Chains A and B, each alone.
Chain A
Amino acid sequence: MTLRLGILYDRAKWEEKALKREAERRGVEVRMLNVLNTVMDVSDGSGFTEDVYVQRSLSFFKGLYSTAVLEHHGKRVINSYKTSVTCGNKLLTTLALMESEVPTPRTLVAFSEESALRAVEELGYPAILKPIHGSWGRLVAFLKDPSSAKAVIESRMFLHPIHRVFYIQEYVERPPRDIRSFVVGDRVVAAIYRIAPEREWRTNVMRGGSIEVCPITEELRELSLKAAEAVGGGVLGVDIMEGNDGLTVHEVNHVPGFAHTVMATKVNIPGLIVEYAVESAKR
């Protein structure tokens, strides 16, 4: 019997089309499901008859809740709700990494303007303020000194209340790059350096960062797998910094973009994801 795969998405980028192509190449029947055009019957879950789903929505909340509905009706979704809810929240990620004793930067959390300023003072300057939800480096701020900290924290008071959960992290001295490693199940399949562009400290490719192939050392492999397992496992992009005290994990991404990595490393990441999904469906 032909295995059937559903790809949930909201914007069809290179990644989603590559997943479709690689699935078809392997004789898997694929249905592209744009969550924006889909009505989900929460009560009976009808209309979702595929054996396994790959969740690729760019929108964190749309992806999370469409996954929740499918899982409730017994469908296997990659990644799982548990993995997605943890990775989509930096605070929950930090807690999960610590629970599994994965090295991660020291983090404080505060819930008011005054407490946030106290937290920064306690960590020392510079420090990093991140929204607990969010990606691509959006609103991630480098707090250089007390006046910049005050200005940035004050500005957050005028945003959605979620931005008044102040997630403040120590600044880790590192080269102007970090490592993104790609975990598919129990394998580290590729790794790249993300290099910060000029006049920018953030390394996000979406902020103009460039990439280079990173060798997968035993240390990197072990740490990546441990971090992936800590957040619930699946198909993950683990972000790692090369600090003075060794490698440290600051984030794990549950819908990792991989177009640039495939070009640079020549590793067929979409093919490996499809194979992992097929294996998961059989279990």
Chain B
Amino acid sequence: MGKAVECPECLAQFEVPDDVVVGEVVECPDCGVELEVYEIGDEGVKVRVAVVEEEDWGE
């Protein structure tokens, strides 16, 4: 059992694992775009297109 999400790019419906956490990046199996989980609540799992890299990101 996973949690249902809809890709905002291609509108594909797919499932993410039950233990998914906010901030995790998942890939849409249909169009391949990387999606960031930004909210998990009563309305389900919400995703948006993930930022690839910001200027102060790193190690």
Contact = CB atoms under 8 A, between A and B. Distances in A.
B54 A237 contact: no
B18 to A, nearest CB: 13
Given A11-B36, A59-B54, A136 B23 contact: no
A32 B21 contact: yes
A61 interface: yes
A135 B36 CA distance: 21
Contacts of B36: 11
Interface residues of B, number: 15
Contacts of B53: 136, 138
A174 interface: no
Interface string A89-130: 000000000000000000000000000000000000000000
B23 A9 contact: yes
Interface string B44-58: 000000000111111
Contact of B57 (A9, A12, A59, A254): A59
B59 A256 contact: yes
Interface in A235-283: 237, 253-257
A23 to B, nearest CB: 14
A34 interface: yes
The majority secondary structure among interface residues of chain B is loop
Interface residues on A, range: 20 to 34
B25 interface: yes
A133 B55 CA distance: 9
B19 to A, nearest CB: 8
A135 B59 contact: yes
A17 interface: yes
B58 A134 contact: yes
B57 A136 contact: yes
Nearest to B50: A11
A58 interface: yes
Nearest to A136: B58
Nearest to B20: A12
Nearest to A163: B55
Nearest to B37: A12
Contacts of B58: 58, 60, 134-136, 138, 253, 255
B27 to A, nearest CB: 14
Given A58-B57, A138-B53, 16 more contacts: A9-B23, A11-B23, A11-B24, A12-B23, A13-B25, A34-B23, A36-B23, A58-B54, A58-B58, A60-B56, A61-B56, A134-B55, A136-B57, A136-B59, A138-B55, A253-B59
Interface of A: 9-13, 16-17, 32, 34, 36-37, 58-62, 133-136, 138, 160, 237, 253-257
29 contacts: A10-B23, A11-B24, A12-B23, A12-B24, A12-B25, A16-B23, A17-B21, A17-B24, A32-B22, A34-B22, A34-B23, A36-B23, A37-B22, A58-B54, A59-B54, A59-B56, A59-B57, A60-B57, A62-B56, A135-B57, A135-B58, A135-B59, A136-B58, A138-B53, A237-B59, A253-B58, A255-B59, A256-B59, A257-B59
Interface of B: 21-25, 36-38, 53-59
